[in-house]
Amino acid sequence: MATNLRSTTFNSGPSSTEADDEGVQGTCEDASICKRFAVSIGYWDDPYLQHLVRLSKERKAPEINRGYFARVHGISELIKAFLRKTECHCQILNLGAGMDTTFWILKDQDLLPDKYFEVDFPLIVTRKVHSIRSRPHLSKPILELHSEDTLQGDGHMLDSKRYALIGADLRDLATLEEKLKKCNMNTQLPTLLVTECVLVYMTPEQAAAALPAPVSLPVK
């Protein structure tokens, strides 16, 4: 599949450097700009991405556009299959979500799970929280499903009845579990984990450790 994976050099040791993390965080920009460009020339519809991502002046190669189309379409079909199978009585946990807009698109299609969670580095989440809070096109759909007039949370987090956006490092499992719990993740519901082009930026050990973390949350 054609993607433009940013080449990031990882430390061989157990801890990453800030420079490694900055490179990985930059992949959010790469992916979202490629998706925004593909949407702008009609590869698929996404009326929400324009509120989160600027349009790049630079054209992308057809291979890149087609690769992103296949990636977005494939993930979307898998998510819808899970939602149909569970009759939407489930949760979706999107790890390394970046500027993903699936929550808003599923709402338009009347296909929302009980709760949709997104996690990314605090720096990325802060940007997304700011865009959501300042753009009614993004905040209104969340508020329509919420029981209060304002969205809870701070710069690194946003929580509502059906949507939560959490700033956390996927390699820091204790903090991730604590934040998911605070946002009322229900460990008894079927939960789909989405990691779209994310685990590749972690060592195999870190990726393997991150995956079962939400499942190991104590049952409420």
Say if residue 189 carries a ligand binding annotation. Answer: no
**Is 37 a binder of ligand SAM (CB under 6 A)?**
no
32: phi then psi, degrees, rounded to nearest 5:
-70, -35
Is 196 marked as binding a ligand?
yes
Q: Is 96 annotated as a binding residue?
A: yes
Non-local (6+) Cβ contacts of 141 within 8 A are 103, 104, 107, 108
Residue whose token pair is 């801890």: 15
Residue 96 interacts with ligand SAM (CB under 6 A): yes or no: yes
Q: H-helix or E-strand containing 120?
A: strand 115-120
Min dist CB 183 to ligand SAM, Å, is 16
Query: Per the annotation, does 84 bind a ligand?
Result: no
33, 52 contact by CB (below 8 A): no
Residue position matching structure tokens 């009980």: 114
CA pair distance 85, 83, nearest whole angstrom: 5
Q: Is 170 labeled as ligand-binding?
A: yes
25 lines the binding site for ligand SAM (CB under 6 A):
yes
Q: Is 28 in the site for ligand SAM (CB under 6 A)?
A: yes
Helices (H), the chain: 18-40, 62-85, 102-108, 122-134, 136-144, 173-182, 204-210
Among 98, 141, 153, 214, binds ligand SAM (CB under 6 A): 98
> Applying CB under 6 A, does 197 fall inside the site for ligand SAM?
yes
Q: Which of 39, 201, 213, 214 binds ligand SAM (CB under 6 A)?
A: 201
Minimum gap (Å) between residue 127 Cβ and ligand SAM: 10
**Residues of span 131-190 touching ligand SAM by CB under 6 A:** 169-171
Number of H helices, E strands in the chain: 7, 5
Query: Minimum CB separation from ligand SAM for residue 120, in Å?
Result: 4
Task: Tell me the window of 106-114, 135-143, 185-193, 195-203 that interacts with ligand SAM (CB under 6 A).
Answer: 195-203
Q: What are the b/e assignments for 14-46, b being 16+ CB within 10 Å?
A: eebeeeebebbbebbbebbbbbbbbbeeebeeb
Q: Which residue has the closest beta carbon to ligand SAM?
A: 96
Binding site for ligand SAM (CB under 6 A): 24-25, 27-28, 31-32, 96-98, 100, 120-121, 124, 169-171, 196-198, 201-202
* Residue ranges of the binding site for S-adenosyl-L-methionine: 71, 96, 169-170, 196
